[in-house]
Amino acid sequence: MTQQKLSDTPAAPGVHPIQAPAPSVPDGAAGPVAPGPGAVAALWPLGPDQVRLDPDGLLGRWQRRNAAVTLPHCVDNLHSAGNIGNLRAAAGEADEAFAGMWFADSDVHKTLEAAAWELGRSPGDAGLRSFVDDTAALLARAQQPDGYLNSYFTVAAPEDRWRKPEWSHELYCAGHLIQAAVAAARTGVSPGLVTVARRFADLLVERFGPGGADEVCGHPEIETALAELYRLTGHRPYLDLARRFLDLRGRGLLGPGRFGPVYYQDHVPVREAAEVAGHSVRQLYLLAGMVDVGVETGDRTLLDAAERLWEDAVRRRTHVTGAHGSRHRDEAYGDPYELPPDRAYAETCAAIASFQFNWRLLLATGRARYADEMERALYNAVAVAVSHDGRHFFYSNPLQLRTGHTGAGEESAARRLPWYTCACCPPNIARLMASLHGYLATAHEDGLQIHLYASGSVDTEVAGSAVRVDMRTEYPWRGRIELTLDGAAAVPWTLALRVPEWCEAHTVRIDGGPVIAPVRDGYVRLTRAWAPGTTVVLDLEMPVRQVSAHPRVDAVRGCVALARGPLVYCLEQADLPPGAVMEDVRLDPAAPAVADRREDLPEFPVVLTAGGTLADTGDALYTATSGRGRRGTPFTLTAVPYFLWGNRSEGPMRVWIPIAASG
């Protein structure tokens, strides 16, 4: 595929490529990512108070479950696992050994961020507010006189402070503290947390800024956090330090380490990198920071590099579910097309990092492909990590679980667990879900763009006038999205509705009448002076698709994945005939899959049924063959949404289904 630089991106109606600073971001636009008034961005995000999810819609239910169950569960485990106790010890208020991973503070910070976004949405939760207030005060007491704040290096290893950047995660933890403080300030929940974060950030500027130590963190994250702190405060040294960290990476400053400098993305300068590499979460957080710094400084070399690496990741190294990471050994990307379904690491945090990276690219460019990738990751690679009850989680998310898999180890993905020794994923899920409504829509001076579809409402200002859009949909189960617009504008403005890449046919009706609405650059763009009460209905056709991988993906050659709309489906042992073995299942290509509702499977709003066979594989490990396989015993195959697997019972699962032999 020919590489296309941001500066070469053709302008589309309602989309402004990166050429000049965006106009001033309107009041209230203060979600997780908020480009500054001088940022070279195509779109501006809406503030969390401008978008609301209906609690009865799928995304709204996820957010409601997160608030009612997942967030309190995280808070409870921070106490029981010792994270809060570590901070008490750092404050001199407890005399106990350090507990957990040396970067355990980051789980506190991520949970704090989640709580801040949730309280900004629902301020009446007294228990959550008490957690935020008490924890912010504890962090202030645990902070050292010079601003340093890290319980492990205060309690357990003070002699190693700043001495082992390749593994210490000191800057990584600082980054999550900063992001929690930004969320608390933007929601008005705990502005004082910014004081704690800024004291630490000022120490970082003093130590690592111009003339300071030439060091980078083994786990990128600080770059995007410092950029956001700059956006909150306007204090330029924070942005300059973020850029300095990017400039220093790739010089081999972290040494060889256990897996080599590629693991840390420290093998090549970021602007010169041609391929994603190493630990997938670290790579994606680094890319997010590159976009943040690029749009704030106008540095096209960073933005072009981010898009170039996106191309490599998505075109050659991303699983069909939108998950990233092929190897367990170093939680890393593999070679091009190395995408084993059963050994996929596909860490939950990597899917969340991909979602965040794509959101930044969407804001920077206005290109629909980034919203498409957000959607794929959200509905599959992120959603799969959380159980129905909101209290159990996958760390890794393979696309196949073999019959007889022992399930040894925390990261085996044989079952969701309530917590982990390395508990990075549950708080990360909590912070994304608490802020999820902030990712649905964007605006620009000439219109409003809807990127993710969910029942809810958007209240913002467009073309100088207040506008409200109510959205009703059963998406992703149904492709009908109905919008009602209220508010009057003195001039016409453009409503842009994303048509996902997977959708091959759509219709649009305005006030019941059909309109010609071609897709341009991934969006239907409707421009008019909207009268109050106008209805727009977008219907996206959702046929069942059989998805094939590139022939170079050896691990799934001869297989297909079933998909419908944004959802990838899978087979579970629970839906096979008694005594059947998952590895013997074949899909009959002559019997097309159809969408269905099953009365006996009420937990799955839409399942897929298709013709299948159970191959007679015999017992021999190797046999001579003439090239013609036996058709096997026919049966009706049932596929369920991948994100819902593992909620009924433990057992084998697979996304990629072998095709039955013909003849």
CB within 8 Å of 243: residues ≥ 6 apart:
293, 297, 299
Would the pLDDT of 16 be above 50?
no
Q: 298 and 383 share a domain?
A: yes
Q: 628 and 527 share a domain?
A: no
Domain annotation covers residue 19: no
Q: 496 and 392 share a domain?
A: no
Task: Give the amino acid at 434.
Answer: A
Q: 534 and 552 share a domain?
A: no
Domain annotation covers residue 6: no
Q: 496 and 420 share a domain?
A: no
| Alpha carbons 355 and 375: distance in angstroms, whole number | 8
pLDDT in tens, 289-321: 999 999 999 999 999 999 999 999 999 999 999
Q: 243 and 337 share a domain?
A: yes
Residue that finishes a domain, picked among 493, 518, 540: 540
Contact status, residue 49 vs residue 28, Cβ threshold 8 Å? yes
Domain annotation covers residue 229: yes
The dihedral through the CA atoms of 273, 249, 38, 183 has a sign that is positive
Question: What is the pLDDT confidence band of residue 445, given thresholds at 50, 70 and 90?
Answer: confident
Per-residue pLDDT, averaged over 86-97, amounts to 96
Least Cα distance to 71 among 23, 119, 124, 33 occurs for: 119
Question: What is the pLDDT confidence band of residue 663, given thresholds at 50, 70 and 90?
Answer: low
pLDDT score at 465: 87
Contact status, residue 23 vs residue 446, Cβ threshold 8 Å? no
Q: What is the pTM of this model?
A: 0.95
Per-residue pLDDT, averaged over 139-144, amounts to 98
Per-residue pLDDT, averaged over 611-624, amounts to 89
| Alpha carbons 204 and 147: distance in angstroms, whole number | 9
pLDDT score at 162: 98
Question: Could you tell me the CATH number of the domain that includes residue 224?
Answer: 1.50.10
Domain annotation covers residue 12: no
pLDDT in tens, 534-578: 999 999 999 999 999 999 999 999 999 999 999 999 999 999 999
Would the pLDDT of 516 be above 70?
yes
Q: Among the listed ranges 242-246, 414-418, 548-552, 562-566, which one has the minimum average pLDDT value?
A: 414-418
- Give, for 309, the enclosing helix (H) or strand (E): helix 300-316
Residue 533 region by backbone torsions, left for phi larger than 0, else alpha for psi between -120 and 50, else beta: left
Report the mean per-residue pLDDT for the chain: 92
pLDDT score at 407: 62
| Residues marked as catalytic | 331, 424
Per-residue pLDDT, averaged over 260-268, amounts to 97
pLDDT in tens, 54-79: 999 999 999 999 999 999 999 999 99
Domain annotation covers residue 22: no
Q: 137 and 256 share a domain?
A: yes
- Angstrom CA distances, 291 to 47, 178, 587, stand at 20, 18, 42
Least Cα distance to 483 among 501, 504, 508 occurs for: 508
Question: Could you tell me the CATH number of the domain that includes residue 483?
Answer: 2.60.40
Q: 371 and 338 share a domain?
A: yes
Q: How many residues does the chain have?
A: 663
Per-residue pLDDT, averaged over 600-613, amounts to 90
Q: 393 and 487 share a domain?
A: no
Would the pLDDT of 378 be above 50?
yes
- Give, for 560, the enclosing helix (H) or strand (E): strand 559-564
Contact status, residue 307 vs residue 263, Cβ threshold 8 Å? no
Domain annotation covers residue 25: no
Q: 59 and 183 share a domain?
A: yes
What residue numbers bound the domain in which 638 lies? Answer: 546-658
- Give, for 652, the enclosing helix (H) or strand (E): none
Q: 208 and 339 share a domain?
A: yes
Domain annotation covers residue 35: no
**What are the E-state strand segments in 451-551?**
456-462, 465-473, 480-486, 493-498, 506-510, 513-515, 519-520, 523-528, 534-540, 544-547
Domain annotation covers residue 344: yes
pLDDT score at 589: 86
CB within 8 Å of 72: residues ≥ 6 apart:
127, 128
Q: 173 and 321 share a domain?
A: yes
Q: Among the listed ranges 187-191, 214-218, 572-576, which one has the minimum average pLDDT value?
A: 187-191
Residue that finishes a domain, picked among 540, 557, 589: 540
Structure token pair of residue 466: 């207040």
Least Cα distance to 497 among 462, 452, 439 occurs for: 452
Counting the structural domains of the chain, the total is: 3
